[in-house]
Amino acid sequence: MLVTPLTKLLNIRVPLVQGGMQWVGLPQLAAAVSNAGGLGILTALTQPNPEALRSAIRETRKLTSKSFGVNITLLPSINPPDYEGYARVSVEEGVRIFETAGNNPGPLIKFFKSKDCIVIHKCTTIRHAKSAARLGVDCLSIDGFECAGHPGEEDIGGLVLLARAAQELNIPYIASGGIADGRGLAASMALGACGANMGSRFMCTVESPIHQNIKDKIIASTEQDTIHIFRTLNNTARVFKNAVSKEVVATEHRPGGAKFEDVRHLVSGARGKVVYESGDPDYGIWSAGISIGLINDCPTCEELVSRIEREAEEVIDRLAKLKVDNKEKAKL
């Protein structure tokens, strides 16, 4: 059994958090991850409004008696969603664990802490992590360059970013990006993390609410099958490499460059949702991390979490055997 500051903080058996994924973080997946011993996460912005999120929270409670959280990601937008409404409804429904991400999380964090909630904030740089720590978050999720979605603009891989976190941070942190098995979990903890956040790996489980064709596509893909879009717009996002994402990149690099309006029709969230519903991997943009190169099957969440727990323990035990005491040294 792995006991870390994360398992103690969240009262979970295995130090694994399911990433808050748009169109994927629905009740059936969140409940399955929590029932398996990790922390399931509902994605607030997947729901069209706060009252729909209220219904999703109630549905999740029917599926699990374990703790689960809600992700609220703050997006740059001219007409922002009702973040305050999503937060208020979640607290009213008894949710006490939140994953936050995005710009200017201060007001949201202040509200959650005033309600005695636990906040895990996602960061892609050490300076942002320090800022979130000063705001009073309980735990940080450190996103390396390998992650799906937005890895920031500094292109720092998890190996160095997590080690820097160990040098600079004074609160617990978990690793995010590039983790899909027990080796990744054990490596994260060796670098100072108290657990790991997995998104792409949980996409490819029996309980994941996406079309089986997309799960099969993930299994058939390698670590070379993702691509970065919006690099020239300073809003980098790692997504699956398909006809649409390659067209976005080509548009960005045409003479004179491109504005968001030039690719808006290609990257709409509605098209990404259809990908998951229809099973057509080339219909729109969908997120995927390079950890897809490590995914070779589609187990239940129970099977996956138990396997990762077992693998991590085996790695830790093997590493412990590399250390010898002084008597053994004398024999060498």
Q: Where are the domains of the chain?
A: 11-211
* CA dihedral sign of residues 7, 1, 170, 157: negative
Q: How does pLDDT run across 114-163, given as a tens digit for each residue?
A: 999 999 999 999 999 999 999 999 999 999 999 999 999 999 999 999 99
Helices (H), the chain: 5-10, 27-36, 50-63, 83-92, 106-114, 126-134, 158-168, 182-190, 200-203, 212-220, 243-252, 260-267, 269-278, 301-320, 326-331
Q: What is the mean pLDDT of residues 69-78?
A: 90
Q: Is 37 left (phi over 0), alpha (psi -120 to 50) or beta?
A: left
Distance CA 100, CA 110 (A): 12
- Residue 332: pLDDT band with limits 50, 70, 90: low
Q: What is the pLDDT of residue 329?
A: 65
| Banded pLDDT at 327 (limits 50, 70, 90) | low
Q: For the segment 175-206, what is each residue's pLDDT rounded down to a tens digit?
A: 999 999 999 999 999 999 999 999 999 999 99
Between CA 105 and CA 163 the distance in angstroms is 24
* Cα 31 from Cα 68, distance rounded (Å): 7
Over residues 68-92, the mean pLDDT reads 93
pLDDT tens for 265-304 read 999 988 999 999 999 999 999 999 999 999 999 999 999 9
State the virtual CA torsion across 83, 172, 118, 291 in degrees, nearest 10. Answer: 50
Q: CA 304 to CA 266: how far, in whole Å?
A: 34
Selecting from 2.120.10.30, 2.60.120.10, 3.20.20.70, 3.90.730.10, what CATH number does the domain 11-211 have? Answer: 3.20.20.70
- How does residue 78 score in pLDDT terms, banded at 50, 70 and 90? confident
Q: What is the pLDDT of residues 3-39, one digit of tens each?
A: 999 999 999 999 999 999 999 999 999 999 999 999 9
Which of 315, 248, 234 is closest to 282 using CA atoms? 248
Place of tokens 């057509």: 280
pTM: 0.95
Predicted local distance difference test score (pLDDT) of residue 63: 98
Classify residue 328 by burial, with Cβ atoms within 10 Å: 0-12, 13-18, 19+.
exposed
| pLDDT at site 324 | 79
Q: Give the DSSP letter string of 85-113.
A: HHHHHHHHTT--EEEEEES--HHHHHHHH
